[in-house]
Amino acid sequence: MNEIVLGAVWYVALLFSLTFHEAAHAWAAKRGGDSTAYLGGQVSLDPRPHIRRETMGTVVVPLLSYAFSGWMIGWASTPYDPRWAAEHPRRAGWMALAGPAANFLLVIVAGVAIRLGIFIGVFEPPHAIGFTHMVDAVGGGMAVALVPLVSVLFTLNLLLGVFNLMPLPPLDGAGAIALVLPAPAALRFRQLMSNPRFAWMGILIAWFAIGPIYRPVHLLAVNLLYPELSYR
């Protein structure tokens, strides 16, 4: 596939995934009593409010990372009221968990699309799995164009979900820890994790840890997608 076309597929999948992730955060916050993101227009699958808030993470870095490495990375963010989070740490925990949950939902949707394509005869299991190659097209036409889209949606959202669930600040997994702590301890933990030094340390640790963590999760997901086969 032409590199420019593949880049467009990557960007559509990444932007939609980031938007869905942040919209889930914003929706959960609104349900929990914080309308900050809702008033900013972020309870929406329209990417424009998310791009306006994080142009660097949603436009500049994805395009540069693809140009220099052949794959895309990016980020977005959702505003919330820290006073609300301090008063309701468990609600803030559910807000944090909503983002990765949205990514895992997209993994399921992409997996269902792959299995449906196999069922109707336009897809078939691939000989080898790749980030943009989770399935093969049977014949040509639209199926060939859909292969990289459903593949990137599946693999990218699995990666985003696993990465964001790591219990390290400023990732969502750190915020979700409030759900398993007593309320006073959850509040103290949130205050401690708001220190910018912990955020930089968390990102650095997560960057090096994601490879060993993600590989077995990806293999498990692939074999759940293709239970009749055995990929290694």
pLDDT in tens, 169-226: 999 999 998 888 887 787 788 777 777 888 889 999 999 999 999 999 999 999 999 9
Q: Considering the domain boundaries, does residue 230 fall inside one? A: no
Structure tokens at 73: 């990375």
Q: Considering the domain boundaries, does residue 90 fall inside one? A: yes
Q: Considering the domain boundaries, does residue 137 fall inside one? A: yes
Q: Considering the domain boundaries, does residue 28 fall inside one? A: yes
Neighbours of 227 (CB within 10 A): 7
* pTM score, whole prediction: 0.94
Structure tokens at 139: 């014949």
Q: Considering the domain boundaries, does residue 88 fall inside one? A: yes
Distance CA 122, CA 136 (A): 9
Classify residue 45 by burial, with Cβ atoms within 10 Å: 0-12, 13-18, 19+. Answer: exposed
Confidence category of residue 1, pLDDT binned at 50, 70, 90: low
Residues contacting 34, CB < 8 A, separation 6+? 80, 81, 84, 85, 91, 95
* Domain span holding position 183: 3-225
Structure tokens at 108: 């399921």
Number of independent structural domains in the chain: 1
Q: Considering the domain boundaries, does residue 132 fall inside one? A: yes
Residue that the structure tokens 């990444």 belong to: 14
Mean pLDDT across the chain, nearest whole number? Answer: 93
Q: Considering the domain boundaries, does residue 155 fall inside one? A: yes
Q: Considering the domain boundaries, does residue 30 fall inside one? A: yes
Neighbours of 187 (CB within 10 A): 18
Question: CB–CB of 206/168 below 8 Å?
Answer: yes
pLDDT digits (tens, 9 = 90+) for 49-94: 999 999 999 999 999 999 999 999 999 999 999 999 988 988 999 9
